[in-house]
Amino acid sequence: MSDLNVLFTGFGGQGILFTGKVMAYAALMEGKELSWLPSYGPEMRGGTASCSVCISDNTIGSPLVVNPDVLVAMNLPSLEKFQNDVVPGGIIIVDSSIVKQKVGRDDVKVVYIEASRIAEENGLKGAANMVILGRLFKETGFCSAENLDKGLQKSVPAKKANLLDSNRKAIALGIDS
């Protein structure tokens, strides 16, 4: 992999920015060049949120992902807004527990994963974002498994260290899905 541009999208409160942060730290541990650019509305929860993550072997010219290689859509408005921006041959990962609409393109790989359902059924309510990160890891291999875990450890603050194992479990569920 020389370049990977990912756009995480959804509602505030779904862990969009956190997911991008874990991915960015994992790439940093891998020794890659990276950028992490969060974007969110003024609402604390329920507003729109997105996060651009660029990973490269070379210097990154712009942190903004306009034409993602991978789009993660955790709600319908995000899918509708960004699905046509994905590069041909790219990947769209959809939380199909929430988004019932199908992607209207045949030049990209589409991964439907019931991330919210998987998380909830395994006692991990609110961890659909980590299930999706696990699936993204499986699809792209953007880093080693060891560095993915290091990125997670770096992203979880010390006062929430008790959440590490549940996040690890959610990532594993995504990898196995």
Location of structure tokens 């960004």:
82
Domain with 131, as residue range(s), is 3-176
- pLDDT at position 44, please? 57
pLDDT tens, residue by residue, 124-152 = 999 999 999 999 999 999 999 999 999 99
Model confidence pLDDT, tens digit, residues 33-49: 999 999 877 655 667 89
> Which H/E stretch holds residue 44?
none
When divided into structural domains, the chain yields a total of: 1
Q: Give the residue with greater pLDDT, 59 vs 45.
A: 59
- What is the pLDDT, as a whole number, of residue 61? 87
- Across the range 51-62, mean pLDDT stands at 94
Phi and psi dihedrals of 161, rounded to 5?
-55, -25
For residue 56, is pLDDT > 90? yes
Q: What is the CATH number of the domain that holds 150?
A: 3.40.920.10
Q: pLDDT at residue 167 above 60?
A: yes
* Residue in this structure with the two tokens 């370049």, named with its chain if needed: 3
